[in-house]
Amino acid sequence: MKMISKIATASLGLLLGGSSVFAQSLADAKKAIDAEQYQKAKSMLKNLTVTQADKDENFFYLGWVYIKQDYADSAKAAFNKGIAVNAKSALNYAGLGAAARLDKDNSGATNNFNQAIALAGKSSKPYQYVGEAYLLVAPGAKVAPADANAAIAVLQKGKVVNPKDADLLITLGNAYRSQLKSNEAYQAYSDASTLDPKNPAAKVATGVLWQFANNFEDSEKQFQDALAIDPNYGPAYREWAETDVRWSTTDPKMASAKIKEAADHYKKYISLTDQSVESQMHYGDFLLMAGDYKTLQQVAADLSKSANTNARAYRYLAYAAYENKDCAAGLTAMNAWFQKAEPKRIIPRDYLYLGRLQMCAGQDSVGINTLRKALTLDSTQTEVYAEIAKSLYSQKKYIQAGDAYREVIQKGGRTVTLNDYLREGTGYYFGYTGQLRSGKADTALLTKADSAFSYITQKSPNTAVAYQYRAYVNDYKDADRNNIKGYAKPFYEKFIELTLAKGTPADDRTKKDLAEAYVYLGTYYEYKEKDLTKATDNYTKARDNDPTNKQVIAFFARKGGASKGK
């Protein structure tokens, strides 16, 4: 993908001035939160918690801003102050549950959610925010089905309490959308728009739904409708930019135009937010999603130099550096992230990139262990199995590589290829031959290898290399040339047939492989069939392909020192 390099980044570090002129009502603060103007909202809410210190809602929405910015400790402090003002503040208990989820404290989250619902009374807002809390995930992560179902269940209860809460319905639609339940999501968004036609969030949410279905034209129309309601509604531009990126990946003819449009829309989004460090982090989220690692590395590097930066900038710097093959910088950044971040902030993807960076830096064994840890935390990252197997194979740890490729085959899903079976088989085969050179070898390795090669020949009968390796495996069963059985014979014959079907080989490697096959057949006829004519014929063909083959030279020497066949 062409990198999104046209988004201006120089001004991102600037903060909007004039916060003292912000309107000081809770309604305006909530509107700023919805527009993702978090610094503006925070300034307003901090003022409200002083001028209206007896209203627990002010503390909740201040805490919610911290939740949106991933500052769980600051959020908890605000929620607890809200509860101190009103011990029965359902919203603040919902907030504490959300903070507990960020801290990966599931028990604490459940207890606080239950308390929030018990105190909710006739208000649907606690239900809404409990539902939103269940949908909180790290950038790029997916909502787990169990969390989505929990959100849907509590939001449905909130809908009974107040069927006319448009914001709750939008959250309900988001929960359905996270599980690709498009009809249910559309109905929820449609109901929200009917109840509140001037709510741009409902239009944006519907646009995202169409984006998921690759219905990009209708998606754009929804964003345009949202901006017709509020021309300064930043999230519409953000989602429009992300839709453009997705559009560019599905329609090559539109790719260049849509990438440029995405850059323009995201630049507009940034201009409508408060251009804080958090906005830049959101920009990082976008660049990560868009796969623009070149710009992401630049933005993250600049962020990491700021004294008040979010430590997550090091995560983005590490990810981008790896993708840009800047392994040293990436490993330094990832180590910094692991040092600066609280353990509860580390996600499986971090271990995934740490392992890749360690391997990229030559720390293969350490990297493999880190990748395995990533898999214990998230087994859905099936491509990691192949990365581990490939590394082991490149280190010539063949038996371990064979086991690893077997794991790829068992757990890799749709990404498994016949080449994985080939690597599994050759891993076990080379592992056996390595043992053989060292002494006693485990013949079970040959059985495993043959099984992998056999699968290839069943699925792709014209794959010559699979027959070649089946021949190698079975050749070891004929080690005693005085009692040869011919186990490898049909596989060498098939290998020769498939190879010659492509025409006379020109490369030396293929010629040497053919010579080996003919030598085996020559040996078979010489010692098993006692047919010197056929033996000579095969040895002659072997010599035609590789006159330097030692067994060919030895055969003709046995015939009386003749240098050429008849």
Intra-chain end-to-end CA distance of the chain, in Å: 62
Contact between 207 and 220 under an 8 Å Cβ cutoff? The reply is yes
pLDDT at residue 560, rounded to an integer: 67
Give the residue carrying structure tokens 């079976």: 421
pLDDT at residue 315, rounded to an integer: 94
pLDDT at residue 308, rounded to an integer: 66
Q: What is the pLDDT of residues 124-160, one digit of tens each?
A: 999 999 999 999 987 768 899 999 999 999 999 999 9
In this prediction the pTM is: 0.64
Distances (CA, A) of 267 to 15, 243, 263: 15, 15, 6
pLDDT > 70 in the chain, percent? 93
Residue 18 pLDDT > 50, yes or no? no
pLDDT at residue 96, rounded to an integer: 98
Q: What is the pLDDT of residues 355-386, one digit of tens each?
A: 999 999 989 899 999 999 998 888 888 888 99
Contact between 271 and 233 under an 8 Å Cβ cutoff? The reply is no
Residue 418 pLDDT > 90, yes or no? yes
Distances (CA, A) of 102 to 215, 283, 433, 510, 562: 33, 21, 52, 58, 82
- DSSP character string of 459-519: H-TT-HHHHHHHHHHHHGGG--GGG---TTHHHHHHHHHHHHTT-S--SHHHHHHHHHHHH
Residue 307 confidence class, pLDDT cut points 50, 70, 90? low
H or E segment to which residue 541 belongs: helix 532-545
What gap in Å lies between CA 200 and CA 34, rounded to an integer?
10
Residue 415 pLDDT > 90, yes or no? no
Q: What is the pLDDT of residues 99-122, one digit of tens each?
A: 999 998 999 999 999 999 999 999
The domain locations on the chain are 462-566
Q: How many helices (H) and strands (E) does the chain have?
A: 29, 0
Q: What is the pLDDT of residues 315-359, one digit of tens each?
A: 999 999 999 999 999 999 999 999 998 888 898 999 999 999 999
Question: 228-261: b or e for each residue (b if 16 or more CB lie within 10 Å)?
Answer: ebbeebbbbbbbbbbbbbbbbeeeeeebeebbeb
What gap in Å lies between CA 354 and CA 443, rounded to an integer?
37
SS3 readout for 14-63: CCCCCHHHCCCCHHHHHHHHHCCCHHHHHHHHHHHHHHCCCCHHHHHHHH
What gap in Å lies between CA 306 and CA 316, rounded to an integer?
15
Domain 462-566 -> CATH class: mainly alpha
For 142-248, where are the E strands, in sequence order? none
